């Protein structure tokens, strides 16, 4: 048995079912060995960023890692952005990167690079270059154990070609996953006392805490103690919809997040990071926790957040408390000229049960949360690391992980162009994905940021040209059709609803190009920075009302 066969058998024995590939010459023995392992599905991507983003989306929904297969340091570099998103989302990914044969490295051939240095950007916890065929399978097991533990991580195994092709490979069994510890008794007692104190307390939920068992336990705690529930701004995976608790997501705009957190004296983190602003801004604080508010940790990402919340509910005597649940309340069917809020309204009106919604709509998705809050139960996946180009690949992975569930990817026009090749993989694999592209011909969020950072001279033609996508205009329906995906474009709400209903009723991938104006444009965009700067001086009730108007 050569190294490649031993590696693939080891992966399949350990429960790895899918590998997302973009291989090259150095990986050919791995590719050849795939035919001998029926348990491992191989999915080809035309760009490495699609393969890595698909592995991310798969793991978020399957609850276990997929593998990637990438070609040398350059291929890894092409896939780095979506591995960054996976790292920030604490998503388990087994990242396999082919390398030159060990005896070839000294010649510094054209594709030779320092793969380990590149990989450490997204795999700080595990990077290893396999040194021998005999030890390769054990290397793979070590990588898998690192990836699937808490917190989940990207583990990178570098596979030299001769280690793959040489004989002497020995499959290796992976140990069962070790359970993560819950919060200790002292921490539980301290947080329980805090919640009984009568002081204003908020719980910030992330990671595992945003799945149903965690949400229900947190909602019982909130009902018993009068605490506020928040969710991270960009959750890895959040179960939501009618019949579930509905924590309020922290706003993207730092000024609005500060308004949300201002009333609280204590913030309890549950598998979440203490909130900071997405970027630095002149004259503004990066730490969003208000002065006088103390941050506590119930469960770190390395602990079992669900068990910790359930134990805290028991300690508070909240097991019998009635949690506040989101009532079923779908918005009406939109009509007239299409806009981004009307697209969000149509999605909320028509969203099917158990859908997986992937939100990379950027500014066009400002109304998505409120429009889908009372829709049938669904999962939400968001842009955890901020590196755009995640939405379409995530949809590929989610659809493969959950083939019985409809997947709806809402993406901006600019972000979709980063990984547009994912449409081809959707068509090739026959995936039930409905993609909605908001075509507003602009990097709209950057126009907003240009105003917020106070960049002088930013209104000239040269500066503005860097932030718009006009001339030539993009036709996403034609791009999709060229890759085998059924597609339509529309500028009316009626046309969008018809297209969305058709896509949900027919198998296979579909794309709807929604021709919409910018959600934040003109006077609205110019006024926004002034309004945000005024928030700290306004009465708290007025500031909160403005926050809900801008980002409900």
Residue 456 pLDDT > 70 = no
Q: Which residue has the tokens 């296979």?
A: 508
Q: Band the pLDDT of 284: cuts 50, 70, 90.
A: confident
Q: Which residue has the tokens 């594709």?
A: 111
Greater confidence (541 vs 491) lies with 491
Backbone angles phi, psi at 453, to 5 degrees: -80, -5
- Residues 184-235 pLDDT 10s: 999 999 999 999 999 999 999 999 999 999 999 999 999 999 999 999 999 9
Asked if 209 contacts 270 with a C-beta cutoff of 8 angstroms, the reply is yes
Other C-beta atoms lying within 10 Å of the C-beta of residue 410? 25
Q: Can you tell me whether residue 240 is helix, strand or coil?
A: strand
Residue 464 pLDDT > 90 = no
Residue 445 pLDDT > 90 = no
116: burial class by Cβ within 10 Å (0-12, 13-18, 19+)? Answer: middle
Distance of alpha carbon 549 from alpha carbon 221, whole angstroms: 29
How big, in percent rounded to 5, are the helix, strand and coil portions of the chain? 45, 20, 40
Distance of alpha carbon 335 from alpha carbon 352, whole angstroms: 20
At 286, list the tokens: 């990066």
Q: Can you tell me whether residue 93 is helix, strand or coil?
A: strand
Contacts of 498-504 with CB under 8 Å at 24 or more apart are: 500/346, 500/347, 500/350, 500/434, 500/436, 501/350, 503/434, 504/350, 504/352, 504/406, 504/434
Name residue 381's beta-bridge partners: 358
- Residues 164-193 pLDDT 10s: 999 999 999 999 999 999 999 999 999 999
pLDDT, residue 533, reads 79
pLDDT, residue 361, reads 95
- Residues 109-168 pLDDT 10s: 999 999 999 999 999 999 999 999 999 999 999 999 999 999 999 999 999 999 999 999
């Amino acid at each position: 048995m050569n190294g490649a066969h031993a590696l693939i058998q080891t992966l399949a024995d350990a429960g790895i079912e899918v590998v997302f590939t973009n291989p090259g010459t150095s990986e050919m023995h791995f590719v050849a060995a795939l035919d001998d392992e029926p348990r491992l599905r191989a999915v080809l991507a035309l760009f490495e960023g699609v393969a890595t983003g698909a592995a991310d989306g798969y793991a978020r929904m399957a609850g276990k890692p997929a593998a990637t297969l990438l070609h040398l340091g350059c291929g890894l570099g092409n896939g780095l952005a979506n591995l960054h998103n996976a790292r920030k989302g604490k998503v388990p990914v087994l990242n396999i990167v082919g390398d030159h044969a060990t005896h070839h490295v000294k010649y510094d051939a054209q594709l030779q690079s320092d793969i380990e240095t590149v990989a450490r950007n997204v795999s700080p916890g595990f990077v290893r270059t396999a040194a021998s065929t005999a030890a390769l399978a054990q290397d793979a097991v070590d990588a898998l154990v690192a990836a699937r533990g808490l917190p989940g991580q990207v583990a990178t195994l570098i596979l030299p070609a001769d280690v793959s092709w040489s004989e002497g490979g020995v499959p290796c069994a992976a140990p069962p996953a070790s359970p993560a510890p819950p919060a200790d008794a002292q921490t539980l007692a301290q947080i329980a006392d805090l919640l009984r104190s009568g002081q204003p307390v908020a719980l910030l939920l992330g990671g595992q805490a945003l799945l149903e068992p965690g949400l229900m336990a947190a909602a019982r705690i909130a009902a018993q103690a009068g605490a506020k529930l928040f969710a991270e701004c960009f959750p890895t995976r959040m179960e939501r919809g009618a019949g579930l608790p509905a924590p309020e997501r922290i706003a993207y705009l730092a000024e609005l997040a500060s308004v949300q957190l201002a009333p609280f004296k204590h913030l309890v983190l549950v598998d979440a990071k203490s909130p900071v602003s997405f970027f630095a801004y002149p004259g503004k604080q990066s730490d969003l926790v208000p002065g006088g508010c103390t941050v506590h940790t119930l469960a770190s990402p390395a602990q079992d957040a669900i068990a910790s919340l359930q134990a805290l509910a028991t300690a508070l005597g909240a097991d019998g408390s009635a949690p506040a649940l989101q009532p079923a309340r779908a918005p009406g069917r939109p009509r007239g000229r299409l806009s981004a809020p009307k697209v969000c309204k149509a999605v909320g009106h028509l969203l099917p049960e158990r859908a997986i919604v992937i939100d990379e709509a950027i500014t066009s998705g400002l109304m998505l949360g409120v429009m889908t809050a009372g829709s049938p139960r669904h999962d939400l996946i968001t842009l955890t690391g901020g590196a755009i180009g995640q939405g379409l690949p995530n949809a590929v992975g989610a659809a493969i992980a959950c083939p019985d569930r409809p997947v709806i990817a809402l993406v901006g026009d600019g972000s979709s162009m980063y990984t547009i090749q994912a449409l081809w993989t959707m068509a090739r694999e026959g995936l039930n994905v409905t993609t909605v592209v908001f075509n507003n011909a602009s990097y709209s969020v950057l126009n907003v940021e240009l105003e917020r950072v106070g960049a002088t001279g930013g209104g000239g033609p040269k500066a503005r040209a860097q932030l718009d996508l006009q001339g030539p205009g993009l036709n996403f329906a034609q791009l999709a059709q060229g890759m085998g995906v059924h597609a339509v474009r529309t500028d009316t709400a009626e046309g969008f609803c018809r297209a969305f209903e058709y896509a949900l009723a027919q198998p296979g991938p579909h794309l709807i190009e929604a021709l919409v104006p910018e959600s934040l444009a003109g006077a609205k965009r110019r006024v926004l920075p002034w309004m945000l700067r005024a928030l700290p001086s306004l009465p708290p009730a007025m500031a909160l009302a403005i926050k809900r108007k801008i980002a409900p």
